[in-house]
Chain A
Amino acid sequence: MMEWMERIKVLLVDDEEELSLVMAERLQLRGFDAEGVTSGEQALERLLEKAFDVAVIDIKMPGIGGLDLMKEIQKKHPDTKVILFTGHGSGAEEEGQDIEGAVDYLVKPVDIDDLTEKIRLAAEA
């Protein structure tokens, strides 16, 4: 679990600050170059400063929502792959959300090993 991994750059976007920060910390412990931000607006600013391989984005956020953020990223930063996560137990597909364009999606609470695997696959895609 703790072995060195390629420094994949990951941007975590969730309006729950504690969640994005602790997830970033856990990903850092697993060798990722991970950062957390708390809004779509902050994410777009950060993406102008640094190229991320993968953005992990909460669908439901105030301001720019996760799906709109994903579309902006696809337009302006096509090399950044997007993984969506949702707080709803039923999952994004069952909710009828238009998640087309996302490499994958996860339902919160996420399993860290599942997340790291999906990030690794997304970065390779």
Chain B
Amino acid sequence: MRVKSLAFFGALAASVSHELNNVLAIINEHSGLIDDVAEAARHGVAPDPDKLKRISAKISRQIERGKDLIKRLNRFAHSADREVTSFDLNSLLDDIANLTQRIAGLKGIQIVFKPAAAPIAIESNPFCLQQAVFVCFRLFLSASDKNRLVTISAACPPARPGAREAVAGPIIRLSGAALPERSSERETYEYLEMLLEEINGDLQFVSSEIDGQSILIRLSSASGGAGNFSHEGASNGQG
């Protein structure tokens, strides 16, 4: 499990470093273009202020893109700090979907995250949960053709006032065109089940004509596992 965790960490870090490198490359070229404009001005070509503004705006956009990536990468790195902590499920899924996007993009597949209307505060193992979601993405990517979408969403069943029975936990749904046969990815499916055990969650596979194949991750509300969730007061404890 430790080796697979490291491989997961490595896969995301490699993908993000590649994207950050692209950000730097674009900034590098635009800064070089400013040099070119300055060099041309030295030879009597008047610099075009609008062009300089456009270049500056493009550099600013890339800086924002880099900042966003680093922020997400930092939260991801800190998700391994503690085994159980409280965090907002929406934010965590947004991060893992975003960080996996380039890996999916290289296969021509787009990941779309549909957040719940309100934050979902849960207490769980964020690193294991992200791994479980990543493994699900990997399963979809291995069996889907390019130009397909993989969607991920989170939902929280509303608590019934006065209900005595334990409230069901939040559900993460990942949907895509196809999943591989269990026999061809046996090890991956087994690893996914191990991760779900670790976070006290359940796994369900659903097939429908509208959504294609779906994986449902049901997080338990039992304490000590993924439990103790609420719609309010969500905090991302991974700072």
Taking beta carbons and an 8 Å cutoff, which residues of A are in contact with B?
Answer: 1-2, 15-16, 18-19, 22-23, 25-26, 29, 60-63, 65, 87-89, 108-110, 112
Contacts and interface: CB of A to CB of B under 8 A. Distances in A.
A1 B30 CA distance: 17
Nearest to B110: A62
Interface stretch (B19-27, B152-160, B193-201, B204-212): B19-27
Contacts of A1: 39
B227 to A, nearest CB: 40
B202 interface: no
B182 interface: no
A19 B19 CA distance: 12
Contacts of B21: 87-89, 108-109
A23 B27 CA distance: 11
Interface in B1-54: 17-19, 21-22, 24-30, 32-33, 36, 39-40, 43
Given A2-B39, A62-B146, A26 B25 contact: no
Q: Is the interface of A mostly helix, strand, loop or mixed?
A: loop
A109 B107 CA distance: 24
A56 to B, nearest CB: 13
Contact of A109 (B25, B36, B40, B146): B25
Contacts of A61: 106
20 contacts: A1-B39, A15-B105, A19-B29, A22-B26, A22-B58, A26-B36, A29-B36, A62-B107, A62-B146, A87-B19, A87-B21, A88-B17, A88-B21, A89-B17, A89-B21, A108-B24, A108-B25, A109-B27, A109-B28, A110-B25
Contacts of B22: 16, 19, 87, 108
Nearest to B14: A88
B26 A62 contact: no
A60 B29 contact: no
B180 interface: no
Interface string B95-126: 00000000001111000000000000000000
A2 B43 contact: yes
A23 B28 CA distance: 10
Contact of B32 (A16, A18, A63, A112): A112
A60 B18 contact: yes
B28 A60 contact: no
A63 B25 contact: no
Contacts of A16: 22, 25-26
B25 to A, nearest CB: 4
The 3 closest A-B pairs by CB, nearest first: A109-B28, A109-B25, A108-B25
Nearest to B55: A22
Contacts of B107: 62
Contacts of B43: 2
Contacts of A87: 18-19, 21-22, 25
Given A26-B29, A63-B146, 13 more contacts: A2-B36, A15-B105, A60-B18, A62-B105, A62-B106, A62-B107, A62-B108, A65-B106, A87-B19, A87-B22, A88-B18, A109-B28, A112-B32
